[in-house]
Amino acid sequence: MACGAIILAAGQSRRMGFNKLLADYQGKPLVAHVVDAVEAADLPAIVVLGHSAQEIRAALTPSRAHFVLAEDYREGMGRSIAAGINAAPRDWQAAIICLGDMPLVSPALLRKLAEKASPSAILVPVFEGRRGNPVLWGRDHFHELETLQGDEGARKKISRLDSRLASISWHDDSILRDFDTPETL
């Protein structure tokens, strides 16, 4: 089954004070860790750009990722998700939505999500009872994501579709750890 990853890299990093996705983390830009994990999982990737688009694209070269610009990224994460979903190839039956500021996400988790992909799936990794990221969305739900607004991302959609949600147990807190402030970095 065709499944790919959409990496959200359009945000303005307001809480960080500078573009966190370009911050050095263990010798390379934060967002490069996410792209590398997706490529190591042998999944096609779409990187959604917005703020600092040229710099992020340059930081990810050479990469096999396809880049798409979320023209309305200032309106919030919802618009970035919509841009990525709208750019997904027609043969993708599912998309894994990855946050660009989660460098600890592993290729093993991405492969596990992709193996369980189906057009009707919504799969969320869980560690010690807490839902994390990335989240896999089957094509049957793409229409829900194409209309997202504001900065809440898909969280409200997940709450509304809770009865269709499946979880995947994960062994560590990497699914909960994003880097939003200088202290967390």
Q: Model confidence over 3-24: pLDDT tens digits?
A: 999 999 998 655 555 578 998 8
In this predicted model, what pLDDT tens digit does every residue of 72-94 receive, in sequence order?
999 888 899 999 999 999 999 99
The per-residue pLDDT for 134 is 97
* pLDDT tens digit sequence for 55-72: 999 999 888 999 999 999
Q: What is the C-alpha separation between 152 and 37, in angstroms, rounded?
A: 25
C-alpha span between 33 and 24 (Å, rounded): 10
What are the residues whose beta carbons fall under 8 Å from the beta carbon of 86, sequence distance 6 or more? 68, 146
Which of the four pLDDT bands, split at 50, 70 and 90, describes residue 161? low
pLDDT tens, 98-140?
Answer: 999 999 999 999 999 999 999 999 999 999 999 999 999 999 9
Q: How far, in Å, CA of 77 to CA of 90, rounded?
A: 23
